[in-house]
Structure formats: structure tokens, C-alpha cells
Amino acid sequence: MHEASLVSALVESLLDLKAREGAKKIVKFQVAMGELSGVDQEAFNMAYEALKGVVEELRDTRMEIIKIPARLRCEECQREFSGDYFSACPECGSYIKTILSGEELELREVELEV
């Protein structure tokens, strides 16, 4: 499962951070999840819960998922719009666009107890 490896990578960097800061526990962390990241949030949650059961450091940790909406910019007329990889520009109908946001999957704020 794709999501399981994403979750373990995230948790690994969390544990790294905790060790680096010499923290007692990880209180809370935020994951920015883009609309276009291709991550299934339910599967992601399930993978996290499963990992939580075996990683003692996560027992009292809260995970917060922040959905990042997709923003695209048309390369023809520079109009910004929301949509996905298959959307045409609502202004000029062009398919040539730049993804401004919505592809991210990353750790944001991490709250540690030191």
C-alpha cells in the first residue's frame, strides 16, 4: 500500500526530529495533503493508526491533516484557477498550465514536549 510507506517516512522524520530536539514526546503534528497528491486520506489514516499501535512514541500523538486545494495557472493567459491535471483554463480553454499548489505531502507544524 502506497499510503503505508508515506506514513512510515513521515513518522521516521518525526522520530528523527524528536531525537534531535531531545523531546519527551510528540504532542501533535500537521500533515499538509494536497488535493493532487494522489493520497487516499482514509488509507493514510488507517496506516497511521496501525503504526501508532506499534510505535510507542506515537501513543499520545495527535495527527492533523490539512487539505491543500489545487491551484493552477494558465500559461496562455496567466489566469489562476482550481481544478486538476485534466482541467482546461476557464478563461481561454488552454490545457497548458502550471501547478501552483496541491501536490504536496509534507510535515508542517510539529509540537513537541521537551
Nearer to Zn ion, 6 or 89 (CB): 89
Q: Interface residues for Zn ion in 49-88 (CB under 5 A)?
A: 74, 76-77, 79
Q: Does 92 bind Zn ion (CB under 5 A)?
A: yes
Window 11 to 40, contacts with Zn ion (CB under 5 A): none
Residue 104 assigned to a binding site = no
| C-beta separation of 95 from 28 below 8 A | no
32: which residues sit within 8 A by CB, 6+ positions away? Answer: 66, 68, 104, 105, 106, 107, 108
Instruction: Rank residues 41 and 78 by Cβ distance to Zn ion and give the closer one.
Output: 78
3-class state of residue 11 by DSSP: helix
Q: Which residues bind Zn ion (CB under 5 A)?
A: 74, 76-77, 79, 89, 91-92, 94
